Amino acid sequence: MFVAIRKYAAGDRPEEIARRVGEGLIPVLRAQPGFRAYYAFVSEDGHPVSVSVCDSREAASRSNDRAGAWVAANMRDLIPDPPEVLLGPMLADAATLDEEVEQRRASQAEPWVDGGV
């Protein structure tokens, strides 16, 4: 798997950035072959940052190209400059989402009840 990280120099109105990304960019990325995940946040120093996880270097490069083109076309008023981009192979993955879902399912299961036998 490959990861693309984009750090933007500017970014006012993070709520508006999140709304536009959710409505416009995420559907574009999800449609890309090899797409796995996308995360966006505002760093503690106020910079918008996004992370894409893809199956291959080619998919990560394509994701980066699509994201860059979409941001340039749809967010120039909020993010006028291109991002600093880091791209590389994933070395470790410690996602816990699947474990959390399984734990929630187990805790919601009906308890075993003795049928009186």
Quick one: pLDDT band at residue 116, thresholds 50, 70, 90?
A: very low
Average pLDDT of the chain to the nearest whole number: 84
Segment among 1-15, 39-53, 98-112 with least mean pLDDT:
98-112
More confident of the two residues 99 and 45: 45
Tell whether the model's pLDDT for residue 75 goes beyond 80: yes
Sketch out the chain's domains with CATH numbers.
Answer: 2-106 (3.30.70.100)
Distances (CA, A) of 23 to 13, 19, 29, 38, 96: 16, 6, 11, 13, 26
Q: Which residues make Cβ contacts (< 8 Å) with residue 12, sequence separation at least 6?
A: 78
State the pLDDT at residue 35: 94
Q: Average pLDDT in the 2-17 region? A: 86
- Band of the pLDDT at 11, cuts 50, 70, 90? low
- What would the pLDDT profile of 80-110 be if each residue is shown by its tens digit? 888 999 999 998 888 766 666 566 666 665 5
